[in-house]
């Protein structure tokens, strides 16, 4: 059986960061990075906006400001991002303040989906030159932690330390792993909302601030803004009870691509459940399945003009006159979000959109599209026993899947923190 001092599951930012740190500080240490995808570096492939300000991306149950900022400094020193300039924000800040809304000034960089792919190539080549074994297209399937053995779909591997960073997409693997290895966990929150798509002229703030972070009342916020060459996409999920559902998301190409004049971003509300149902995931899945049922196996889209009048959007009435741009996620089904999203959720989202339209007038133009659902699910939250997100001796669970991050830079910081703990 092959044996490595460190095995890392997942080549996303959390996994990469841990690998770099270990190999730089312990050159020659046998290290294997494993990813189920043939070509991966996880979420670095998606848009690659990077936020370098607390608390963006840092869950507060496992980070404090000082720790996060110290790690962010190291992330920035390594990635050397080109921080985007922000301009003319005073009038938006003033309006937001009057409405009890916060506009966070976040240090940001944006590579775009194409720029992210370039970064991945450079990082993976560098890692290999440091001696890492990078195994793509191999899936971690199970763990015999008492024997320090990881079982993949191809073989068994022995490890000294195991870092598991499978991202949000790997949450069911992580869930199973926690159950079999005996890691205690508590349930996690879920973020549910809509993705908004409109013309840039209806949301002009993006010319001055690439990904504006607004925090509204009722745990509602803007998230992941994309513009200039921006598209809405869908992600496919399987439910363990059977059935397929979709969450929407968004990305953009780098500034070198021609602009399509559109912008998209998510308006999300955080939901925390306690009893009798404490599973945010089960709740989110039901919402996703319900949307897929009414959408005929696709997400729903509705023009704001139709939503305001309380009527569904239809394919025939979806374009023309005021509805003057084509949706970038053309496969979404025109429909009625009011039939799908629970009232309390929809009220909070619509309230956030109205406040935003007062701060950046134009957003609620009749042509603006709302896509539903956008769901951010996280694995149950491990109860960490030691430094660096150690769940059991020699086992570290990090990144978005384990709930230690909600974005690229915080995932990178999480990987660094696990490496620090391993390196002592």
Ligand X SMILES: Cc1cc2nc3c(=O)[nH]c(=O)nc-3n(C[C@H](O)[C@H](O)[C@H](O)COP(=O)(O)OP(=O)(O)OC[C@H]3O[C@@H](n4cnc5c(N)ncnc54)[C@H](O)[C@@H]3O)c2cc1C
Using CB under 6 A as the criterion, which residues of the chain lie in contact with ligand X when the complex forms?
9-15, 34-37, 40, 42-43, 46-51, 57, 139-140, 165-170, 173, 224, 233, 249, 251, 399-401, 405-408, 411
Exposure string of 237-267, with b = 16+ CB inside 10 Å and e = fewer, is beeeeeeebbbbbbbbbbeeeeebebbbbbb
> Is 143 strand, coil or helix?
strand
Phi, psi angle pair for 59, to nearest 5°: -65, 130
Least spacing, CB of residue 32 vs ligand X, in Å: 11
- Report the distance separating Cα 295 and Cα 127, nearest Å: 44
Nearer to ligand X among residue 14 and residue 72 (C-beta): 14
Q: Which residues, 6+ apart, have CB-to-CB distance to 295 below 8 Å?
A: 246, 332, 333, 335
Nearer to ligand X among residue 174 and residue 359 (C-beta): 174
Least spacing, CB of residue 344 vs ligand X, in Å: 26
Nearest C-alpha neighbor of 340 from the set 286, 303, 297: 286
Least spacing, CB of residue 262 vs ligand X, in Å: 16
CB 416 within 8 A of CB 75: yes
What value, to the nearest 5°, has the Cα angle with vertex 140 and ends 134 and 141? 165
Nearer to ligand X among residue 364 and residue 398 (C-beta): 398
Nearer to ligand X among residue 174 and residue 353 (C-beta): 174
Least spacing, CB of residue 332 vs ligand X, in Å: 15
Least spacing, CB of residue 90 vs ligand X, in Å: 26
Exposure string of 398-422, with b = 16+ CB inside 10 Å and e = fewer, is bbbbbbbbbbbbbbbbbbbbbbbbb
Nearer to ligand X among residue 305 and residue 407 (C-beta): 407
Nearer to ligand X among residue 305 and residue 388 (C-beta): 388
- Residue 116, both tokens: 């992210």
Least spacing, CB of residue 354 vs ligand X, in Å: 26
């Amino acid at each position: 059986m092959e044996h490595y001092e460190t095995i890392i599951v997942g080549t996303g930012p959390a996994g990469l960061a841990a690998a770099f740190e270990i190999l730089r500080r312990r050159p020659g240490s046998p290290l294997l990075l494993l990813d189920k995808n043939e070509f991966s570096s996880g979420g670095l492939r998606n848009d690659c906006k990077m936020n370098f300000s607390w608390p963006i991306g840092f869950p507060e149950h496992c980070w404090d400001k000082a720790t996060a900022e110290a790690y962010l400094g190291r992330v920035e020193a390594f990635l050397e991002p080109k921080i985007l300039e922000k301009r003319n924000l005073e009038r938006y800040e003033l309006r937001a303040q009057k409405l009890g809304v916060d506009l966070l000034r976040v240090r940001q960089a944006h590579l775009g989906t194409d720029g992210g792919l370039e970064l991945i190539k450079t990082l993976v080549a560098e890692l290999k030159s440091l001696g890492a074994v990078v195994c793509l297209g191999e899936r971690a399937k199970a763990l015999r932690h008492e024997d320090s053995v990881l079982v993949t779909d191809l073989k068994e591997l022995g490890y000294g330390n195991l870092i598991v960073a499978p991202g949000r997409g790997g949450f069911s693997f992580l869930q199973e792993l926690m159950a079999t290895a005996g890691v205690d966990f508590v349930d996690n929150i879920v973020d549910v909302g809509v993705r908004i798509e409109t013309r840039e002229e209806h949301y002009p703030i993006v010319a001055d601030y690439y990904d504006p972070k607004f925090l509204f009342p009722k745990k509602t916020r803007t998230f992941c803004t994309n513009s200039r060459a921006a598209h809405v996409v869908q992600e496919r999920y399987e439910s363990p009870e059977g059935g397929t559902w979709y969450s929407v998301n968004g990305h953009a190409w780098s500034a070198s691509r021609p602009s399509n004049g559109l912008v998209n971003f998510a308006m999300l509300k955080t939901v925390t459940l306690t009893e009798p149902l404490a599973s945010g995931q089960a709740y989110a899945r039901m919402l996703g399945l319900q949307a897929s049922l009414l959408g005929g196996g696709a997400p729903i889209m509705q023009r704001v003009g139709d939503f305001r009048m309380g009527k569904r959007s239809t394919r025939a009435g979806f374009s023309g006159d005021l509805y003057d741009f084509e949706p970038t996620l053309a496969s979404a089904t025109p429909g009625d979000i009011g039939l799908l999203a629970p009232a309390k959720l929809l009220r909070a989202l619509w309230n956030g959109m109205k406040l935003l339209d007062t701060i950046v007038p134009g957003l609620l133009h009749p042509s603006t599209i709302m896509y539903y659902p956008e769901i951010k699910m996280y694995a149950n939250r491990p109860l960490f026993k030691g430094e660096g997100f150690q769940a059991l001796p020699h086992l570290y669970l990090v990144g978005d899947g384990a709930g230690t991050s909600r974005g690229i830079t915080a995932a990178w910081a999480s990987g660094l923190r696990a490496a620090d703990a391993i390196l002592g």
